[in-house]
């Protein structure tokens, strides 16, 4: 009986994950509990949840593994900031960093963990950031041999690493260090396009769908792909080492023109209509074209890295982690164009490092045999009907009803979806990673085109151009989407981490989930992974002939996804959502 707790915190997306004899017992981001988006602080609440889920106290932990070497990271920050060519503008940045590190006691994570958890220091370890990512991807994958690629903004120094995984062994082959960073390259353009770094990268992907990559020839030279399977950024355009304000330099503005104003309107002219110069439509099209060009350039770079890594290891089973792994368009191309079997860790970003650290200790350090793929993302907290009823009463929701069976719950929900209502769906344990996969989801009818705008504007209060994902029964997935012939239980499509073309003949059947470029970020749903969600889609399919549901995360803009019944009630009441299905309780605003 070995319990290993993995932790990530101090930068963004703090998380805790608990592994028991190689099996993941629980894993959760701190933000779900603290309600503080991208919470980076010590994950007290997530740890408590993990221990509660296992029914153990912290004294029963055999080991605690932290996801990076903080002191090495600090060394990189200081060295970068004091570089001769940047020192003048870096001093203020460095001041802030040092103050923050002192204030938050970031210098000795092991001692902090020991003090917070009461675990002896000799049972606490820290491992390199990219090893955490690599372990999260590889040890949770279905593969016994794999090429592992980790790509993110930056860890300690490293921004990319290629590994070979074999049994319990992960061997680092080669990598890249700051300022050569594909993650930060993408983030620089995220900022240029008026979105928040570490938050708005999805929006760039969404915006790219509206554009044509007209600026590829301008952007591509900024990232030269090299013969060694890596790349070299033209650092004149980027500011990654002491980013006081923006991650790009004025040269980028000279190259591409004015950056997009945050929150500026985005509207695309109808097909065939030439927008007037200077109009919102023309300006939006310009930035969409830049987004498309950045996306295409990034995809080419990722393919280049993965292609070379595969040729180096000779293994076509590929594992990916690190924030770049959330680029679902690139993931699709890896499968399609390189013909690789792919596993992307569902929490590919820094929170996933918590689970990676724990798995690395169990398999990599203790040399315990592999325990099989992580096929379920449902590793978070669950609430029973008593918890839900207590929340309904505490907040004086008087008009609700209790469904006596899953069949009734499914029928009531399908009735509303068919009628064009938007339903908040909170069931079972919440998901690990940034995607809502049917347990903390907002659901709508994908056959109604108006649903996209209704859900974006009235429910989630976000930009009207953001696309929505479809959840589809695995058996029907190929009828609607161009997907790899075989979709096994651990492929990215199970975790909504890959984009597929909607079959041309089906685009008009599911307009609300077909992006403007004819693609969709698909989630295939299996009965064995999520029986209730499967039944719901199945029943919706029986009623409408379309076994697909629009699925978006259960949150409002800028908020973490909901955790507990109160969070769901709050989102339900503050938005124009029509209905809420929590456990077996059902609330319909028409009854209120």
Partner 1 sequence: MTRVLIVLPGSELERVDAERAIRLSRGHFAEAAETAIAAPATTVGFYDALLMEADIKEFDAASASIAFDVFVFVEGYEGDVCAPGPHSLTLPRADHQRTYWFLLGARMKLVHPAVYDTVEYPLVESHVFQRLSGRKHEFVNFPYGPLYSDVEVGPVNEFGFRVPQDYRRLAHRPTNHKLVVTFGGSAAFSFYCRPEEMFSEVLGELLNGTLRSRGDARHVTTLNFGMHDNVVMQEMLTYMMFVDELKPDVVLAHDGHNDIYYGLQNDPCLLNDFNIIYQRYSEEWSKLLHGSAKVPTPPMYSMAVDGQELNLPQNVIRTYILRKQQFERMVRANGGQFVWGVQPIHCSKPNLSRREKLRYRQAERGQPHDSAKRKFLRGLYLTYGKLSENLARLPEIVLVDFNQRFQGYGEELELLWDHCHTSPDGDKLIAEHYHDVVLKLLDQDVS
Least distance from partner 1 to the Cβ atom of residue 397, Å: 8
State yes or no: residue 115 binds partner 1 (CB under 8 A).
Answer: no
Least Å distance, CB 35 to partner 1, is 5
Residue whose C-alpha is closest to residue 524's, from 512, 533, 515: 533
CB count in 10 Å sphere of residue 493: 28
Show contacts with partner 1 in window 36-65 (CB under 8 A): 36-37, 39, 45
Q: Which of 6, 25, 29, 35 binds partner 1 (CB under 8 A)?
A: 35
Residue from 83, 395, 402, 458 in contact with partner 1 (CB under 8 A): 395
Nearer to partner 1, 407 or 576 (CB): 576
**Alpha-carbon span 329 to 195, nearest angstrom:** 19
SS3 state at 34: helix
d(CA 281, CA 275): 6
Whole-angstrom CA distances from 96 to 41, 153, 154, 215, 525 are 17, 20, 19, 36, 46
Range in contact with partner 1 (rule: CB under 8 A) among 124-132, 194-202, 324-332, 556-564: 556-564
Q: How far is the CB of 269 from partner 1 (least distance, A)?
A: 25
Q: How far is the CB of 592 from partner 1 (least distance, A)?
A: 7
Residue 121 structure tokens? 């220091």
Among 3, 9, 11, 33, binds partner 1 (CB under 8 A): 33
Distance, in Å, from the CA atom of 232 to the CA atom of 11, rounded to the nearest integer, reads 26
* Binding of partner 1 by 270 (CB under 8 A): no
Cis ω on the peptide bond leading into residue 179 (within 30° of 0)? Answer: yes
For 255, the token pair is: 């190259």
> Residue 151 — φ and ψ, nearest 5°?
-140, 130
Smallest distance from partner 1 to CB 169, Å: 41
Q: Does 369 bind partner 1 (CB under 8 A)?
A: no
Residue 383 beta carbon to partner 1: minimum distance, rounded to whole angstroms: 14
Query: Helices 70-81 and 87-103 sit at what angle, rounded to 10 degrees?
Result: 150
Name which position in 510, 569, 580, 581 contacts partner 1 (CB under 8 A).
Answer: 569
Considering CB under 8 A, how many residues would be counted as binding partner 1? 21
Strands 63-66 and 124-126: parallel
Location of structure tokens 């978070």: 380
Q: Looking up tokens 């503005």, which residue turns up?
A: 253
Distance, CA of 100 to chain centre: 26
Q: Closest Cα partner for 313 from 97, 488, 148?
A: 148
Question: Per CB under 8 A, does 538 bind partner 1?
Answer: no
Q: Does 588 bind partner 1 (CB under 8 A)?
A: no
**Smallest distance from the beta carbon of 420 to partner 1, in angstroms?**
21
34 binds partner 1 (CB under 8 A): yes
396 binds partner 1 (CB under 8 A): yes
Please give the Cα distance from 128 to 160 (Å, whole number).
Answer: 12
Please choose, out of 306-314, 394-402, 509-517, 540-548, the segment that lies near partner 1 by the rule CB under 8 A: 394-402
We find the least distance from the C-beta atom of residue 48 to partner 1, in angstroms, to be 13
Complex with partner 1: residue 169 or 394, whichever CB lies closer: 394
Counting contacts by CB under 8 A, is residue 570 touching partner 1? yes
Pattern of binders to partner 1 over 447-466, x per CB under 8 A?
--------------x-----
Q: Taking the complex as a whole, how short is the minimal distance between the CB of residue 197 and partner 1, in angstroms?
A: 16
User: Which parts of 461-490 interact with partner 1 (CB under 8 A)?
Assistant: 461
What is the H or E stretch that residue 291 is in?
helix 280-313
Helix (H) or strand (E) holding 526: none
199 part of the interface to partner 1, by CB under 8 A: no
**Least Cβ distance, residue 566 to partner 1 (angstroms):** 5
Give the closest residue to 326 by CA, choosing from 156, 203, 191.
Answer: 203
Nearer Cβ to partner 1 (392/497): 392
Pairing of strands 3-8, 63-66: parallel
DSSP 431: B
Residues near partner 1, by CB under 8 A: 33-37, 39, 45, 394-397, 461, 556, 558-559, 566, 569-570, 573-574, 592
């Amino acid at each position: 009986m070995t319990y290993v707790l993995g932790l990530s915190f101090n930068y963004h997306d703090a998380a805790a994950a608990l592994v028991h004899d190689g099996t993941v017992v629980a894993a959760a981001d701190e933000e779900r509990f603290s309600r503080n988006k991208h919470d980076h602080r010590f994950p007290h609440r997530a740890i408590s949840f993990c221990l509660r889920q296992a029914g153990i106290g912290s004294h029963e932990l055999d080991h605690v593994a932290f996801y990076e070497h903080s002191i090495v990271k600090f060394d990189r920050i200081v060295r970068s900031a004091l570089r001769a060519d940047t020192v003048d503008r870096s001093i203020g940045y460095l001041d802030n960093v040092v103050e923050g590190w002192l204030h938050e006691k970031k210098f000795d994570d092991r001692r902090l963990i020991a003090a917070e958890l009461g675990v002896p220091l000799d049972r606490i370890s820290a491992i390199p950031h990219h090893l955490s990512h690599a372990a999260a991807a590889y040890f949770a994958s279905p593969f016994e041999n794999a090429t592992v690629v980790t790509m993110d903004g930056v860890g300690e120094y490293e921004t990319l690493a290629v590994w070979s995984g074999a049994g319990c062994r992960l061997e680092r082959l080669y990598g890249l260090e700051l300022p050569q960073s594909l993650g930060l390259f993408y983030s620089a353009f995220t900022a240029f396009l008026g979105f928040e770094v570490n938050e708005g990268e999805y929006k760039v992907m969404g915006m790219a769908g509206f554009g044509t990559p007209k600026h590829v020839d301008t952007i591509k030279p900024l990232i030269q792909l090299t013969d060694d399977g890596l790349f070299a950024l033209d650092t004149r355009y980027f500011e990654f080492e002491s980013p006081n304000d923006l991650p790009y330099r004025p040269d980028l503005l000279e190259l591409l023109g004015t950056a997009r104003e945050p929150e500026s309107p985005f509207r695309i002219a109808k097909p065939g209509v030439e927008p007037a110069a200077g109009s919102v439509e023309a300006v939006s099209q310009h930035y969409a074209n830049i987004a498309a060009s950045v996306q295409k350039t990034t995809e080419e770079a990722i393919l280049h890295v993965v292609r070379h890594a595969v040729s180096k290891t000779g293994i076509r089973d590929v594992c990916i982690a690190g924030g770049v792994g959330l680029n679902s368009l690139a993931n699709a191309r890896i499968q399609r164009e390189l013909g690789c079997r792919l596993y992307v860790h569902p929490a590919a970003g820094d929170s996933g490092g918590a689970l990676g650290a724990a798995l690395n200790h169990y398999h990599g350090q203790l040399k315990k045999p592999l325990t099989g793929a992580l096929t379920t993302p449902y590793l978070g907290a669950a609430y029973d009907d008593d918890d839900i009823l207590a929340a309904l009463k505490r907040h004086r929701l008087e008009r609700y009803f209790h469904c006596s069976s899953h069949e009734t719950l499914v029928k009531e929900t399908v009735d509303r979806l068919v009628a064009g209502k938007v339903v908040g769906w909170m069931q079972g344990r919440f998901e690990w990673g940034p995607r809502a996969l049917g347990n903390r989801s907002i659901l709508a009818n994908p056959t109604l085109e108006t649903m996209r705008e209704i859900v974006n504007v009235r429910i989630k209060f976000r930009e009207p151009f953001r696309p929505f994902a479809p959840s589809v029964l695995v058996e029907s997935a190929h009828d609607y989407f161009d997907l790899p012939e075989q979709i096994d239980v651990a492929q990215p499509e199970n975790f909504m981490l890959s984009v597929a073309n909607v079959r041309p003949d089906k685009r008009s059947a599911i307009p609300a989930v077909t992006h403007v470029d004819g693609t969709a970020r698909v989630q295939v749903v299996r009965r064995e992974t999520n029986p209730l969600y499967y039944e719901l889609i199945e029943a919706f399919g029986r009623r409408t002939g379309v076994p697909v549901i629009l699925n978006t995360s259960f949150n409002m803009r800028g908020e973490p996804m909901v955790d507990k019944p109160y969070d769901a009630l709050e989102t339900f009441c503050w938005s124009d959502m029509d209905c809420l299905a929590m456990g077996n309780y059902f609330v319909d605003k028409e009854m209120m």
